[in-house]
Amino acid sequence: MGFNNSDRQLPSQPSAKNLKFEREDWTHFRTVEGLQQKAGVAASKLRRLVLKELADNALDTGAEVDIGQLSSGGYFVEDDGPGIDGSPEEIARLFSINRPMISTKLLRLPKRGALGNGLRVVAGAVLAPEGRLVVITRNRRIELRPEREGATTVVSVEPIDFPVGTRGPTTRTSTARLP
Ligand SMILES: Nc1ncnc2c1ncn2[C@@H]1O[C@H](COP(=O)(O)OP(=O)(O)OP(=O)(O)O)[C@@H](O)[C@H]1O
Ligand SMILES: [Mg+2]
């Protein structure tokens, strides 16, 4: 069969309409295989990628970043930037795999390339091994659970104190049990 005739069907082929698959793009964020595709890194590097995405976000605010390991086995990425805007539900949406691209950086950093996906990758990497995320920002400790259905759930919100004058409202994100 010539290239020009490539749309011709062999008698044994099913009709073209039966070959049309449709799947929401965000479903790729649910599995390690899909995440590898979306993020462009091998499974063994996903943990590093998550920490990089969180550190990128921290550095984008112009803040200083501190990264470390928790005694629970997870990691934290902490910055002394402005904190994350919004209610716990809005923050959960930022960490949801099924959200559209959301970014505050389009105007400020027009040459950055792909935008608004970092936290979806983070949520997916926590979801795949059924981990949880804790975001501490603006005097709240928000525990989040990414869900297979797409929208991340707010598990709990607790007030938390930062010593006045030592450090401003801080974003602290810890990820446990990454692949
Ligand atoms: N540490 C943080 N401090 C303040 N705002 C944050 C922080 N982390 C995330 N955000 C907010 O959440 C938005 C979404 O973050 P996300 O990492 O998903 O996308 P992005 O950083 O805009 O683009 P990309 O990560 O794809 O380069 C950011 O644009 C920013 O407004
Ligand atoms: Mg980012």
Which residue is it, tokens 């949801």? 96
pTM of the model: 0.82
What's the rounded Cα separation, in Å, for the pair 64 and 43?
Answer: 28
Ligand 1 pocket residues where CB is under 6 Å = 53, 56-58, 60-61, 79, 81-82, 84, 94, 102-105, 112, 114-119, 171
Structure tokens at 10: 């062999």
Residues 68 and 75 sit within 8 Å (Cβ to Cβ) = yes
Name residues whose C-beta falls within 8 Å of residue 113's C-beta, 6 or more positions apart in sequence: none
Run of H or E residues at 46: helix 46-60
Mutation probe of ligand 1 site: the residue of 41, 60, 137 with most atoms within 8 A of C-beta = 60
Residues with CB under 5 A from ligand 2 (ion): 56-57, 118
CB neighbour burial string for 126-156, b if at least 16 within 10 angstroms, e if fewer: bbbeebbbbbbbbebebbbbbbeebebebee
- 26-29 long-range contacts, CB within 8 A, separation 24+: 26/97, 26/98, 26/99, 26/120, 26/150, 29/97, 29/120, 29/121, 29/123, 29/124, 29/127
Report pLDDT digits (tens) over 19-41.
777 777 899 999 989 989 888 88
Any idea which fold 42-175 has? Heat Shock Protein 90 (3.30.565)
Report pLDDT digits (tens) over 38-62.
888 898 998 888 889 988 888 888 8
What's the rounded Cα separation, in Å, for the pair 154 and 166?
Answer: 29
Name residues whose C-beta falls within 8 Å of residue 59's C-beta, 6 or more positions apart in sequence: 65, 79
Residue nearest to atom 6 of ligand 1 (CA): 84
Per residue of the chain (179 residues), give pLDDT as tens: 445 555 555 666 656 667 777 777 899 999 989 989 888 889 899 888 888 998 888 888 888 898 888 887 788 888 888 888 899 999 999 999 999 888 777 665 555 555 788 899 999 998 877 788 888 888 888 999 999 999 999 999 999 875 434 554 555 665 544 55
Going along the chain, which residue ranges are E strands?
65-69, 75-79, 133-137, 140-145, 153-159, 171-175
Q: Specify the ligand 1 atom closest to the Cα of 173.
A: 1
Residue nearest to atom 5 of ligand 1 (CA): 84
